[in-house]
Amino acid sequence: MPRDDLPVLEMRGISKTFGPVRALEDVSFTAWAGEIHALMGENGAGKSTLMKILGGILKPDRGGEIRLGGAPLHLEGPKAAHAAGIVVIHQELALAPNLTVAENIFLGEEMHRFGRIDRAAMNRAARPLLERLGAPFAPTDVVGRLPLAARQMVEIARALAARARVLVMDEPTTALSERETEKLFTLIEGLRDEGLAIIYISHRMAEIDRLADRVSVLRDGRYVGTLTRAEADHARIVSLMVGRDVASFYKKDHAAKPARAEVLLEVRDVADGGRVRGCSFTVHAGEVVGIAGLVGAGRSELARAVCGISRRTRGEVWLEGRRIDPASPAAAIAAGLVYLTEDRKADGVHLDMSIHENVVLATLSRHARLGVRGLAAERARAREAIARLAIRTPHERLKVRALSGGNQQKVLLARLLETRPRVLFLDEPTRGIDVGAKSEIYRLIDALAAEGLGIVVISSELPEVIGIADRILVMRDGRIAGELHAGPGAPVTQEAIMAIITGTGTKAEAHAA
Ligand SMILES: Nc1ncnc2c1ncn2[C@@H]1O[C@H](COP(=O)(O)OP(=O)(O)OP(=O)(O)O)[C@@H](O)[C@H]1O
Ligand SMILES: [Mg+2]
């Protein structure tokens, strides 16, 4: 019998080491039924590791204890956790892509009839769950063909089917649009109100404000404390996370660095036959250009068309006075134009290669391919990159899979910088990156600009674009609908950007603002 005078989940004295790495040390964590409990901490603090232990995927070191509803729990594996009512939706989703929605929902708990798997019964049982979630797909759809937001819903349906008491979501919104995110939040709040304990991991403060009833913080693998909703203001959370007070947002001094007059990149009337419907802009040496706009406005598509990743149906691309029109990413990179993808899972880092291999991958020919000298030089480059981007790892030989999510993102950035670009397109560069490391990335962007690179930053977080860009292009419906300049001591305002996004401000007004 569930008891409500006890926390539904108690983890006590949990430790985990990976060889020399102490990922968790004597961590305690408690969650109650009917709460959304945010778990926060810097990249590599141990959040995902703790939740993998809860999900039965990792075995903790000896000595710890997990209790569910007051009773001790022995997690032999993911199946045992699932059967006990713990469902973990991992940072990297873990569905079987070749199976149907219903088969995934009941994976490991298949229904049988006459000794065979009863697909019809599973489809019937899945239907009301999907209806409850308002899912726009069928039990018989193959999961691999569904978009990410839909796959996440399948995982939630799986939790409902298991009658979960504890639901863990590890950075669930990193690849969702605003509308999908809002839908997910409503769903999560509904589940909380039905009495689930929800453990929610995110680096986005706005999501914590919106959702969390309590916030627990890990720092360097240790539990440092829990705040109630009333106590959990940003400054307090951040100081618990990093162990000291920090300015939670990096503000650049727009007056300090006049952009050089030299035009590096000129994009003329580029269209892709889809969302991008004719865009022109320039990027100067030493300049950081932001691209703002709603999801669906065509920001990533524009960057992809310029950088040779998708096909252009119209338009020209000029770099340092030469027309380049790259037909492939490789051609773009060779010409000095590089794109950092927003989706590192799909086309980003190679998880089973080392940090060192990932970093030098794009530039193998530059380090004499064979021979000890080449290898030593490569290793040195990799170590420099680790230091420069503050990648948290014991050494450069570690497989990227063993890095925390935010540190994987930094490896990807390191690899692109190795190609020595002239113009760098960064698509949501701080997604999944903790507050401390965010300022490191902003500083890095500034430093690269100071070296004379041109940088284009696409970001959905307006304070971020405003904080780092010298000039902001605002996209709407596949076109550049306005352009805003930051002046000395006069940053662009969110209102000015929103006015262009919603079409209540014109380009001319925006200039005057
Ligand atoms: N399989 C593994 N082998 C070696 N080290 C690992 C492994 N898995 C995790 N680690 C290390 O354990 C530490 C904690 O990682 P974890 O993924 O739990 O961090 P996190 O808090 O989830 O970070 P992020 O916010 O970046 O996702 C990191 O130093 C990471 O490199
Ligand atoms: Mg993580």
pLDDT one-digit tens code per residue, 425-449: 999 888 778 877 788 888 889 989 9
Tell whether the model's pLDDT for residue 147 goes beyond 90: no
Band of residue 509 on the pLDDT scale cut at 50, 70, 90:
very low
Q: Which of 120-124, 395-399, 488-492 bottoms out in mean pLDDT, i.e. has the lowest?
A: 488-492
Is pLDDT at 368 greater than 60 in this prediction? Answer: no
H-run or E-run covering 291? strand 288-292
**The pair of three-digit structure tokens given for residue 120, joined into one six-digit string:** 């019809």
Q: Looking at the CA of 40, which ligand is closest? A: 1
**Does 9-242 match 249-336+421-513 in CATH topology?**
yes
pLDDT, mean of residues 395-414: 88
For position 248, what pLDDT does the model report? Answer: 45
Q: Is residue 226 predicted with pLDDT exceeding 90?
A: yes
Q: What is the pLDDT of residues 62-83, one digit of tens each?
A: 889 999 999 999 888 888 998 8
Model pLDDT for residues 288-310, shown as the tens digit of each residue: 999 998 777 899 999 999 999 99
> Phi/psi at 268 (nearest 5 deg)?
-115, 110
CATH architecture of 9-242: 3-Layer(aba) Sandwich (3.40)
Residue 455 has pLDDT above 70, yes or no: yes
pLDDT at 58 (0 to 100): 94
Q: Are 106 and 161 in contact (CB under 8 A)?
A: yes
**In the predicted model, is pLDDT for residue 337 greater than 60?**
yes
Domain-by-domain residue ranges, the chain?
A: 9-242, 249-336+421-513, 347-419
Q: What class does CATH assign to 249-336+421-513?
A: alpha beta
* Kind of pairing between the strands at 471-476 and 479-485: antiparallel
pLDDT in tens, 125-142: 999 999 988 888 999 999
- Span 196-206, pLDDT tens digits: 999 999 988 88
Q: 60 CB less than 6 Å from ligand 1?
A: no
Per the structure block, which two tokens stand in for 373?
Answer: 């000298």
Kindly indicate the confidence band of residue 370, based on its pLDDT and cuts at 50, 70 and 90: low
**Residue 183 has which token pair?**
């839908």
Q: From CA 385, how far away is CA 358, in angstroms rounded?
A: 11
Q: For position 245, what pLDDT does the model report? A: 56
Please give the number of the atom of ligand 1 that sits closest to the Cα of 434. 25
pLDDT tops 90 at residue 43: no
**Substitution candidate for ligand 1 out of 49, 223, 355, 435 with most atoms within 8 A of CB:** 49
Q: Is 273 left (phi over 0), alpha (psi -120 to 50) or beta?
A: left
Q: At a CB cut-off of 8 Å and minimum separation 6, what does 372 contact?
A: none
Instruction: Determine the Cα–Cα distance for residues 381 and 389; give it in Å rounded to an integer.
Output: 12
CA–CA gap between residue 279 and residue 309 (Å, rounded): 16
Percent of the chain with pLDDT over 70: 90
Ligand 1 atom nearest the C-alpha of 403 is 31
Neighbours of ion ligand 2 (CB under 5 A): 48, 91, 405
Tokens of 157: 């349906």
Pairing status of strand 65-68 against strand 71-72:
antiparallel
141-170 average pLDDT score: 89
| pLDDT exceeds 80 at position 508 | no
